[in-house]
Chains A and B, each alone.
Chain A
Amino acid sequence: MEFQFQFDWQAAINSIPFLLKGIPYTLLISFGGLAIGFLLGIFFGLLSINKKWFFRWPATAYIEIFRGTPILVQVLFIFYGLPDLIGGPIDPLTAGIAAIALNSGAYISEVVRGGVQSIDKGQNEAGLSLGLSRSQTFWSIIWPQAFRRMIPPLGNQAIVSIKDTSLFSVIGVGELVRQGQVYIANTFTAFEVYFVVALMYLAITLSLSLVLRLVERRGLASV
């Protein structure tokens, strides 16, 4: 028998409405997780450059643990492991958001650290010499400059985290990949459906890249 494969456009198009239902979950987990991850990143990133070891060590431990273990293991641990500890189930959406938050938070800590450390120490000295307090100097002089330099790596992390949410199909969140799997189980059109799934990820990440490029251009124009 001769093997002949033909891309079934109709199957691809038919899958779209069902797959689209996964996108709100993908976006919610990504951006919900990233928003919390950003706050964690600022907090632990700044702790990690503190002069005092008892601030620095916990931050370094957090960063190393969540950068050094796979996000898949992290989410499995949160979803299947943590309920044993807290004595009650965690819903998959919460587990997904928590995993993205903790994981991206570790990487963003490093972005924050690098951004802040890249600012010339003369900026700090100028602020202090004008009578500004340490925190005034940091938040009105160092941080705005550091944040501008952080935008490209933050965008990078956002894209990585969006793609990481695809792993959460394993805990049963109805995100994009999960929707694809469910659809394929009924139609056996794996090629077409995963193709559409891939295109949808690409649409999200490319839009984000575009927005970031615009933000970056606006941010750089003034410096």
Chain B
Amino acid sequence: MTQIVQMQGMNKYFGTLHVLKEIDLSVEAGEVVVIIGASGSGKSTLIRCVNGLEEFESGKLVVDGNELAPKSGNPKALAEIRKEVGMVFQQFNLFPHLTVKKNIMLAPMKVKDTPQTIANATAERLLSRVDIASQADKYPSHLSGGQQQRVAIARALAMEPRLMLFDEPTSALDPEMIGEVLDVIRELAKEGMTMMVVTHEMGFAREVADRVIYIHEGQIVEEGKPADVFDNPQNERTQAFLSRVLSH
């Protein structure tokens, strides 16, 4: 199996706060890794390190063969990584001044010099795939939250990423729209996309994950198959966390 992500002894600080502690983690091609943990545990920071939105202070991080040095020390590798890694944010972060279709066409045209006609065709194909082809020429603000997040997924997919990062993709959505976004992510998982997903949706995590990782105060304290982590957690912190989030 090919390793897409490899982290070894990674440490990250916000000032004096030690937010990621000696993280060792690898993700295989085609694997879906779901990261769970309480707010402030460092789970978002962890996946934001993968595409360099956060710097780390020490340790090793290799993404698809590109080694990122601590303190963003390797800009070439970072540029390569960002071309190959797609990210979906909690707040969608669509570009409000561009139509839905232009949102999707922008990166392929700017980064890969994809001709407009091809970028256009790709955008239309991806919009049908996430089931919002009819909204192509609207501006993001005219779409519902669920639709916006599906556009954001299509936008990331347009770069044909080797890895997708999802940072709490449903946390900003109204409850009735969570399902439509999870369906799209589920579909991607089935097609074999390598993914790292930070989520609070435990049912979804159990269903879609090949591996679940529980982070507590910046440390991976438990990791394993979803059935093992959810039904038979070994660490008492994981037990406490799961009893809190699964009890309702």
Contact = CB atoms under 8 A, between A and B. Distances in A.
Given A126-B89, A128-B53, A130-B111, A140 B106 contact: yes
Interface stretch (B30-38, B91-99, B201-209): B91-99
A136 B112 CA distance: 13
- How many residues of A sit at the interface, in one of the four size bands? 10 to 19
Nearest to B139: A222
Interface in B84-139: 85-87, 89, 91, 93-97, 106-107, 110-112, 139
A122 B90 CA distance: 10
Interface in A99-155: 120, 122-123, 125-126, 128-133, 136, 140-141, 144-145, 148
A130 B106 contact: yes
Given A125-B89, A129-B51, A129-B86, A148 B97 contact: yes
Nearest to A146: B97
Contacts of A125: 53, 87, 89, 93
Given A222-B97, A222-B139, A223-B139, A132 B86 contact: no
B95 A123 contact: yes
Contacts of B85: 129
Contacts of B51: 128-129
Contacts of B86: 129-130
Contacts of A222: 97, 139
Nearest to A128: B82
A144 B97 contact: yes
Nearest to B48: A125
Which label, helix, strand, loop or mixed, suits the secondary structure of the A interface?
Answer: helix
Nearest to A148: B97
Contacts of A128: 51-53, 82
A123 B112 CA distance: 20
A216 to B, nearest CB: 14
Contact of B159 (A131, A140, A141): A131
Contacts of A223: 96-97, 139, 141
Contact of A130 (B91, B97, B107, B141): B107
B93 A122 contact: yes
A132 B95 CA distance: 13
Nearest to B89: A122
Contact of B95 (A133, A136, A141): A141
A140 B93 contact: no
A144 B95 CA distance: 10
A120 B52 CA distance: 18
A133 B107 CA distance: 10
Select the residue from A129, A144, A222, A223 with max chain B CB neighbours within 10 A. A129
B79 interface: yes
Nearest to A137: B110
Contacts of B139: 222-223
Contacts of A144: 97
B182 to A, nearest CB: 21
A122 B97 contact: no
B155 interface: yes
A130 B111 CA distance: 8
A120 B82 CA distance: 20
B99 to A, nearest CB: 9
16 contacts: A122-B89, A122-B91, A123-B93, A123-B95, A125-B93, A126-B87, A128-B53, A129-B51, A130-B86, A130-B111, A130-B155, A131-B82, A131-B83, A132-B107, A136-B110, A223-B141
Interface of B: 51-53, 79, 82-83, 85-87, 89, 91, 93-97, 106-107, 110-112, 139, 141, 152, 155-156, 159, 165
Given A128-B51, A148-B97, 10 more contacts: A122-B91, A123-B95, A126-B93, A126-B152, A130-B156, A131-B83, A132-B107, A133-B79, A141-B106, A222-B139
Instruction: Please give me the 10 A-B residue pairs with the lowest Cβ-Cβ distance, nearest first.
Output: A130-B107, A126-B93, A122-B93, A129-B87, A131-B83, A131-B111, A131-B82, A144-B97, A145-B97, A223-B96
